[in-house]
Structure 1
């Protein structure tokens, strides 16, 4: 019987296992690369947070931009704009019947503020009358503004004045603390002006001594229009 080449299955199987295994080796990231990735994630998170804050603040920013920069009427405001604006200090005041009130509780409404002693001379009476009339002149927007008399001494308020103060907020304040917040124009006294405070609690405008009602009313109307998109009547906790 002639010789023949025959395959050996066992040998074939052994040969298959003699081949080296193919392994893929992944290198670990360098510490510098890991730090860079973390930094990029942190930066991205900060940008997203900033974007959310800008969206929330956009109505307020837009109204202030309209009033301070664009000024559609094309003329300067009558009142002097205060820069930087001064926030309401967290100090104690008292009602006329002696109840303690934190001044920051006034936040949440536009405020038209006057300052005078309890005796209230003719100039003080004129300011109180103007405050009431200017607020009433805002029509439906009057509910967005409070008029405030800050009494800077311990003199009693005359009984004859009290009926006219029914819609006012009247508080006694220490004059030293008051002077750290409001300030008069150079050469004038604190009681010679009317002051405007925005709903966020910032003193932002001072009307000149001897205020002209028509010009002051024009400024207040513009403030109400400019803030209509974000300010609502009443305080948030009411």
Structure 2
């Protein structure tokens, strides 16, 4: 009578799970999780199936270098347009300083997320110093350590403009031939993708 009242005792044979089906499901789940990571690692290490096209105009600095690695000590918490001048800040350097200021203004409502700066190894001339004070009141100024700058593989000898992220990492580098519109597009794209700074 007790056995008849227990609805769980429907049959005397216990149900046996299909272990083979369960193993295949586990293998498929593992392949779905680990497979893409393994494929991406092999693509990166062996450089196959890597697209040649790019959407940025500068030289990507993807080796983890920071501002300090090119001889600039700064504590800026925003995106930064940094001009480096390892020699005298001549016409091309001055053009990059002007471009950095114009790019920050060109960001419009995002202008507060970025700053512009000049890191020079030598003092600028008195006339240019006066011009910077009058026309570039928000320009940040830093000394450039030539010894450290010279050791940086990504730092060539002439004036350059760098995009630096809020953590101080070098992101993109541009020479004096850069077009302002291209650089502005790159900067806007970075700010759009980033939720820092």
Superposed pair shares fold, TM > 0.5: yes
Unaligned runs of 5+ in 2: 1-52
Equivalent in the alignment of 1:179: 150
Q: How has the CA–CA distance of structure 1 residues 117 and 79 changed in structure 2, closer, same or farther, with 3 Å as cutoff?
A: closer
Secondary structure of the residue aligned to 2:75 is helix
Larger radius of gyration: 1
Equivalent in the alignment of 1:207: 174
* Corresponding residue to 1:136 among 91, 94, 105: 105
Cα pair 2:79 2:114 within 8 Å, conserved: yes
Equivalent in the alignment of 1:82: 61
Equivalent in the alignment of 1:190: 158
C-alpha displacement at 1:215, in angstroms?
0.7
* Corresponding residue to 1:225 among 187, 192, 195: 192
1:59-94 Cα offsets, whole Å, 9 max, x none, are xxxxxxxxxxxxxxx85211111121202328997x
* Corresponding residue to 2:118 among 149, 158, 163: 149
Q: How has the CA–CA distance of structure 1 residues 177 and 168 changed in structure 2, closer, same or farther, with 3 Å as cutoff?
A: same
Distance 1:211 1:201 in 2: 22
Cα pair 2:71 2:146 within 8 Å, conserved: no
1:170-196 Cα offsets, whole Å, 9 max, x none, are 112221123345734xxx5331x2111
Cα pair 2:164 2:171 within 8 Å, conserved: yes
Unaligned runs of 5+ in 1: 1-73, 94-102, 233-238
Secondary structure of the residue aligned to 2:176 is coil
Distance 1:78 1:134 in 2: 15
Q: How has the CA–CA distance of structure 1 residues 223 and 126 changed in structure 2, closer, same or farther, with 3 Å as cutoff?
A: same
Cα pair 1:151 1:172 within 8 Å, conserved: yes
Distance 1:178 1:215 in 2: 26
Q: How many residues align?
A: 143
TM-score where L is the length of structure 2: 0.63
Distance 2:126 2:114 in 1: 23
Q: How has the CA–CA distance of structure 1 residues 141 and 174 changed in structure 2, closer, same or farther, with 3 Å as cutoff?
A: same
CA RMSD of aligned residues (A): 2.7
Cα pair 2:79 2:163 within 8 Å, conserved: yes
**Pairing of 1:31-50 with structure 2 (within 5 A):** none
Distance 1:160 1:224 in 2: 30
